[in-house]
Amino acid sequence: EAGVAQSPRYKIIEKRQSVAFWCNPISGHATLYWYQQILGQGPKLLIQFQNNGVVDDSQLPKDRFSAERLKGVDSTLKIQPAKLEDSAVYLCASSLTGASGGFRAETQYFGPGTRLLVL
């Protein structure tokens, strides 16, 4: 079974530029998460999708960050314009979420992450 795919693996940009990250979850997984992990800290949830709907985007800086999952499969996360403090690893994860809905604990499967450096 293929895991969660992310691209690119690394990105270096200058502040005020824009950048986009792509994630393809495990086939059949309904729920997709984007996390931001700043060096030395634990990951922080940015946005959670169930199929193509947003479940939680309370910690997404909406003035500069946007995300979509139009067909309920792969997803893109965009930053525009980037700031120095956006330097981090951006992790995508997916989970199965059965027919009973997403409101239960379940194992999340993580991609390799995209390491972003903003200069």
Q: Is 103 in the site for other proteins (CB under 8 A)?
A: yes
Q: For the CB of residue 115, give the shortest distance to other proteins in the complex, in Å.
A: 7
| Pairwise CA distance, residues 48 & 102, whole Å | 10
Scanning the structure block, which residue is given the tokens 């067909």?
A: 71
**Nearest in space to 83 (alpha carbons), one of 30, 27, 15, 32:** 15
Taking CB under 8 A as the criterion, the residue among 43, 67, 75, 77 binding other proteins is 43
Taking CB under 8 A as the criterion, the residue among 5, 20, 26, 45 binding other proteins is 45
By beta-carbon proximity to other proteins, the closer residue of 81 and 89 is: 89
Return phi, psi of residue 6, to 5°: -135, 150
Q: Is 107 in the site for other proteins (CB under 8 A)?
A: yes
| Pairwise CA distance, residues 86 & 93, whole Å | 19
Which residues sit at the interface with other proteins, rule CB under 8 A? 31, 33, 37, 40-45, 48, 55-56, 89, 91, 93, 95, 97, 102-113, 115
